[in-house]
Amino acid sequence: MRRLSFILLLALSLQALATNKEQAVLYRSIDQHGDSITLSGLLSYPLDKTPKGVVLIPHYTIASNDQTPSIKPTGEAAYFKEDYILLMPDLIGYGVTVDLPHPYLAGELTAHNCADMLSVLHPMLDSLQFACSLDSVYIVGYSQGGASAVWTMKVMEEEYADRYHVMACYAGGGPYDVAVTYDDALAKKKVFMPAVVPMLVVGTDVAYDLHLNYSDYFTPKMQDIYDRYLARKEYSTSQLFFKFTDHRLKTWMSPKAMDSSLPEMKSIYEGFKRSSLVRYPLNDKIADQQIICPSWIPKAPLYVFHSTKDNVVTSLCAEHLRRCLPDQPNITFDIRNYGSHLRASARFFPKVVEMMSNGER
């Protein structure tokens, strides 16, 4: 049975290789200071059929540079690559910028880094004369990619509308409210993937030039593991899961980092708020009644999927985003029990493929 499964998987992989063109591409975008930077990503398109459209896919959380889309397409690609032109940005800190720290969950910056990748389409594909528009795009993402997808939709509708049209955005399991994601870990005193906590602290520091002293946030054990494993980007998220076998937050984070009311946490919480699609008044303690609506209202269809049993990203993120946005026909929230974060992802992508195939947005 195992041999048969392996042969079937190999056959499917070879078929995909024969029917798709995949190549790493370079493009210009901006860094956290607004300066020009060269980034990399993956461009994929079918060879034996007319693509149905363009899909931009911000990746989920990765830790190793070997997980970078331009090196090894992440799992989302399998759902779309036979029927669509795919763009999968590596983002800052991976691919050609592997020597830089990754500004993890810095929403607005990530959105620009995703949207700017669309600039490769006309130079690379005009000669193929595809029937679909290269200026109209679907945005799909899960987990980190879910938050990045909604951020990219927002930025594209506000700043790129003269160049590109967002057809629809499908987001699943995303940390749209970064502050409440951290608060959820503090409340539970544990975290399913301890490796993402230092990634969040360092990413927020890098994105907003906070000049944090990491010893204020990490225990010596965390600092050692961060230096040996995370900073080098040599271990995948799966490998790191087995490096961080203790899920208690106090094992990895300092007592200061476990108390959001302390002055040392003020600047990083302001960073969390800046990274969030959910808006709070700055310098105020987070509370449900302080959620305020952003000025942006989605023009294109937006579908937000989240499991109430998500064990990685609390469904409060989706609930808070729902409170931010108006109740209108083009915005759909699907928040119910789809199981764990990983199990829910296996429901999300086939559902999105079906919705796109049926013209549901």
**Tens digit of pLDDT for each residue in 85-95?**
999 999 999 99
Query: Is residue 361 over pLDDT 80?
Result: no
Residue 29 sits in the same domain as residue 141: yes
For residues 235 and 63, is the Cβ–Cβ distance under 8 A? yes
Residue 11 falls inside a structural domain: no
What pLDDT score does 281 carry?
Answer: 58
Residue 12 falls inside a structural domain: no
Residue 34 sits in the same domain as residue 128: yes
Range of the domain at 242: 187-290
Residue 62 sits in the same domain as residue 124: yes
Residue 55 sits in the same domain as residue 202: no
Rounded distance between C-alpha atoms, residue 149 and residue 301, angstroms: 13
Domains in the chain, number: 2
Tell me the average pLDDT across 53-60.
Answer: 97
Residue 271 sits in the same domain as residue 148: no
Residue 28 sits in the same domain as residue 171: yes
pLDDT in tens, 252-311: 999 999 998 888 899 999 999 999 998 765 444 444 445 555 668 999 999 999 999 999
Q: How confident is the model at residue 7 (pLDDT cuts 50, 70, 90)?
A: very low
Residue 88 sits in the same domain as residue 72: yes
What pLDDT score does 46 carry?
Answer: 93
pLDDT in tens, 211-232: 999 988 999 999 988 888 888 9
Residue 302 falls inside a structural domain: yes
Last residue of a domain, one of 259, 290, 321: 290
Percent of the chain with pLDDT over 70: 90
Q: Which residue has the tokens 């937006």?
A: 302
Tell me the average pLDDT across 30-41.
Answer: 98
Burial class of residue 143 in the structure, from the number of CB atoms within 10 Å of its CB (0-12 exposed, 13-18 middle, 19+ buried) = buried
- For residue 43, which of 110, 114, 124, 98 has the smallest C-alpha distance? 124
Query: Is residue 8 over pLDDT 50?
Result: no
Last residue of a domain, one of 273, 290, 307: 290
Residue 29 sits in the same domain as residue 96: yes
Winning range, highest mean pLDDT, from 46-50, 75-79, 193-197, 334-338: 334-338
Residue 13 falls inside a structural domain: no
Tell me the average pLDDT across 333-353.
Answer: 97
245, amino acid identity = T
Burial class of residue 61 in the structure, from the number of CB atoms within 10 Å of its CB (0-12 exposed, 13-18 middle, 19+ buried) = buried
Query: Is residue 2 over pLDDT 80?
Result: no
Residue 99 falls inside a structural domain: yes
Residue 32 sits in the same domain as residue 159: yes
298, amino acid identity = P
Last residue of a domain, one of 267, 290, 313: 290
Residue 322 falls inside a structural domain: yes
List Cβ<8 Å contacts ≥24 apart for 122-126. Answer: 124/25, 124/43, 125/45, 125/85
Q: How confident is the model at residue 9 (pLDDT cuts 50, 70, 90)?
A: very low
What pLDDT score does 12 carry?
Answer: 44
Residue 266 sits in the same domain as residue 299: no
Window from 89-103, 136-150, 180-194, 334-348 with minimum mean pLDDT: 180-194
Residue 61 falls inside a structural domain: yes
For residues 335 and 306, is the Cβ–Cβ distance under 8 A? yes
Residue 30 sits in the same domain as residue 144: yes
Q: Which residue has the tokens 């392996």?
A: 6
Q: How long is the chain?
A: 361
